[in-house]
Amino acid sequence: MRTLAYLSVAVVAAGLMSAAPAVAAEFGSAAEAKAMLEKAVTAVKADKAKALEMFVKGEGGFKDRDLYPFCGGPDGNFTAHPSLTGKSLKDLQDKAGKPLGQEIYATAKDGAIGEVSYMWPRPGSTDPVQKVTYVTKVDDQVCAVGYYK
């Protein structure tokens, strides 16, 4: 009977420990965001038109929880975004009025990944929280993937 009690406690403890990572994994991490941006750069270099289409549709592993790549073209407009394609990225401001789009364009450098921090609501919320977006330039595109802190 004592062995059964210990076994029950061990099973419950194991269940609680395995539940903790599931809660933490509800949102993408910094490492996952950076890896997705690197994958997006590779896709743009291979076939820009196809890559941008996949980013918009979230296909090919380019949508993972709250992570997705987005890009802007030389005209300052989104060339790929789940809901803002065609709208101005360069004029985008965060919820505190920070000129987010201008900072993204200024930070993006070919062959390097930079960071831009700003306030933005999580999906399904209206309360802004800190978000960090990794940005780079590939071909004539400024591409990025952001994660929430």
Q: Is there a domain that residue 6 lies in?
A: no
Q: What is the Cα–Cα distance from 53 to 131, expressed in whole angstroms?
A: 25
The residue segments making up the domain with residue 92 are: 27-148
Q: What is the Cα–Cα distance from 141 to 74, expressed in whole angstroms?
A: 7
**How far is residue 54 from each of residues 1, 70, 71, measured CA to CA in Å?**
57, 10, 12
Q: Write the CATH number for 53.
A: 3.30.450.20
Number of domains in the chain: 1
pLDDT band at 25 (very low <50, low <70, confident <90, very high): confident
Q: Is there a domain that residue 97 lies in?
A: yes
Q: Is there a domain that residue 9 lies in?
A: no
Q: Is there a domain that residue 62 lies in?
A: yes
Residue 61, both tokens: 């592993």
Tell me the pLDDT tens digit for each residue of 96-147. 899 999 999 999 999 999 999 999 998 889 999 999 999 999 999 999 999 9
Q: What is the Cα–Cα distance from 113 to 3, expressed in whole angstroms?
A: 54
